[in-house]
Amino acid sequence: MHHLFDLKNKNILIVGATSAIAQAISDVFIEHHANLIWVDLFQDKLIQVREQLNLSHSSQVSIYPCLFSDPKSREIVIDEILNVHQHIDIFIYAAGVQGPAGSSLAISDQDIQKVLNVNLLAPMHFAQLLIPQMQNRKYGSLIFISSIASVRGNQNIGLYGTSKAGLCQFARNLAVEFGPDNIRANTISPGLIKTPFAENLINNEFFMQQRLAKTPLRRVGEPSEIAATALLLACDGGAFISGQNIIVDGGTTISD
């Protein structure tokens, strides 16, 4: 049974690596012997986060700064990574921006460009850059962090929800097209998770009363619970799961 969750000798690329969810994923993956390759905006932040890991594991983490909203920067960093590490087995896209909150009628073209660029166009481009080498090896798993905003209507964060819904559809498309190459693609849609990204919501007493009343488990999720889901999708234990959007929300989206 242990081999089903072993990542030994697997190269895992995580974009948005300094986010709380990505850090939780890294912690769990290191315990399962993965080689981690981190990409995020700022090298100093990447170094700072890596130093927080157990020092005995530091050699398993390589870091690459990249302005991942820029297509040319994406191409350069993937070329560099593949030159150094030869291949990527598992790709995790954990970056994201919420964008403006408010009416869909108030969204500007600039807002749309910014949110779609980070939340949808960037992960699409990374996948395009990485899938050919996965095809050559007949192996790969792509995991995109989405949101429960992708599966229900949103009064205040409609643009964010739209971008994440597009990401889920993109993963399904990849699963169908590249399944014959033994390449899987899935999304994870967290509910409210205890992270800095959700801090304003968690500190809003009125919002929390409403949200927890609609969440059967009556609590906020932990980043480690998203990490555990990612582990399943990355490992042989999840080798027959593809094209799925796995909702990890304590039951919020199924509550009446």
Q: Which residues of the chain have pLDDT under 50?
A: 55
Cβ pair 56, 75 in contact under 8 A:
no
176: helix, strand or coil: helix
Q: What pLDDT score was predicted for residue 99?
A: 92
Kindly give the residue spans of alpha helices, DSSP state H, lying in the chain: 20-31, 43-51, 71-85, 109-116, 122-137, 158-178, 199-202, 205-213, 223-234
Name the fold adopted by 2-254. Rossmann fold (3.40.50)
Catalytic annotation, pick one of 64, 93, 139, 160: 160
- Quote the radius of gyration of the chain (alpha carbons, Å): 18
Q: What pLDDT score was predicted for residue 196?
A: 87
Phi-psi group of 138: left, alpha or beta (phi > 0 → left; psi -120 to 50 → alpha; rest → beta): left
Q: What are phi and psi of 148, to 5 degrees?
A: -65, -15
Active site residue 93: no
Q: What pLDDT score was predicted for residue 256?
A: 73
Q: What pLDDT score was predicted for residue 151?
A: 97
Closest alpha carbon to 125 in 100, 95, 147, 84 = 95
